[in-house]
Structure 1
Amino acid sequence: MEGYFAVSTQAKTSKKTVFAVLGLLAVVGVVATIAVTSSSASPALAQFAFEEQEFRDYMDEYQKSYESDEEYGMRFKIFRDNLAYIRIFNSLGNSWTLGVNQFADMSFSEFKAKYLPTKFQPKEATNVVMLDEVSVPSQVDWTTKGAVTPVKNQGNCGSCWAFSTTGSVEGAWFLAGHTLVSLSEQELVDCSSSYGNQGCNGGLMDNAFKYIIAQGITSEANYAYTAVQATCNKAKASQVSATISKYTDVAPDNISQLQATVAQ
């Protein structure tokens, strides 16, 4: 049985006490009996029921399943915590809002460990070019200018470096006068190990740029993303869709240079 429910009421002097079962019987296997007054029981139970239904809907939408009742309980608790954070943040009137996605049942420490590999330490910027900061616009939206492909999902693979690389090359390729094309992260995951990258275990954008300078890069449509490192498909990789001739790094810890770079 899932959810929680009121199990009984009884009289004590002149007051009625509701004994409510709070928790998930199928989750923790333990019934926690908490005495609350009848005037406060209904709102608390209703809120809990609402949140569990949200979690059930979330599981359906993102096709989630858990191996045990204990894991279900843990994921539900994390989901509730993340949902509370989202609601508080969105109530503060910020210029942007948060929402639930497929990672809402993960803690930040889990997300960081799984999707942000720590094997590669921040590199020293040695290829820096200082840009003009005088004529930088106060804002720029490259999506409205047609320079950005749709949002992608790296899945269960530490390939953020490959997505960062394709995103910047896609924009540069478009701004150089070509048709916008979604480029293949999978090619970088599978084929750029000789340049220092390690597929789903991490990599660096600079290493990926060096690969593209030497080899070019094919399209997403030709070499689809699988979120698993495999043997390089040289036949697909040879069908080049975009190239670059050089790259530069942004000056570290310099917000003005970052702004000038984005504006370019």
Structure 2
Amino acid sequence: MPNTEQMIDTHCHLDFPDFDPDRGAVLESCCQHGVFDIIVPAVSADTWRRTREICQDRHTSLGQLRLHLALGLHPLFIDQHQPQHLSELDHLIAQHRPVAIGEIGLDFHRIGKRAVNDPDKQLAFFDKQLMIAKQHALPVIIHNRKAHDPCLSLLAQTGLSGGIIHAFNGSIQQAQRYIDLGFLLGFGGMLTFTRSRKLRELARQLPLDTIVLETDAPDMTVSAHHGERNSPAYLHFVRDTLAEIKQVSPAEVARVTTNNVRRVFALHTTDTPTD
């Protein structure tokens, strides 16, 4: 399909085994649909090497597709994280200079009567990774479920220069607090479902210069591919839905959201991952 503006998928786990059978074909499809930059956030120490290797320069028949590395310790894998992983993270950042620290954050979501998974350890690891990001002057990619108040409190104390709140679904008031701290808000596949009325209204209210596009592939797919593996090549569905909600052209959404990412992540077309 024709595209007048290139897009950036700000959150795609392209390193996950789900893409092992056809990663090259997925990348070709991305270029065909206007996605030439993808940020790939790591989730645990035992996947950092794999993520780095996946993020080497990729060339397709339509040109170079840039995969940008982010390194972090995801809260959903808190049981796997050890104190030494923090010092390893600090060392790898200095060595490989990722575009961000992520995916990090807090997940206080409960299912039934299940307790939150070690909230104290989550808070400790989140705080320490925020400090590492500040020391290296890097933005962060934050996963947050049911923990906006403690997240906002830690961000305000740390004084970071910003980043992205991945898959944001909080209130307009919480959104403004993140924006005031220099953060962009990520919108993905859930926006494409007509039943996501609250999320769509939030997107309508927010200025376009505070929003970025994401897929979270292989998870959280778009409505047109419900029940299937998500793909970064589906980012145009999010772009088009946001354009409809905001009553602007898809090209305008692509242009502004891409500029938003480049501004906060200091991302340039010449950026390439390091070995």
TM-score normalised per structure 1: 0.23
TM-score normalised per structure 2: 0.22
Question: Which has more strand, going by share of residues?
Answer: 2
Question: Which has the higher Rg, Structure 1 or Structure 2?
Answer: 1
Question: Which has more helix, going by share of residues?
Answer: 2
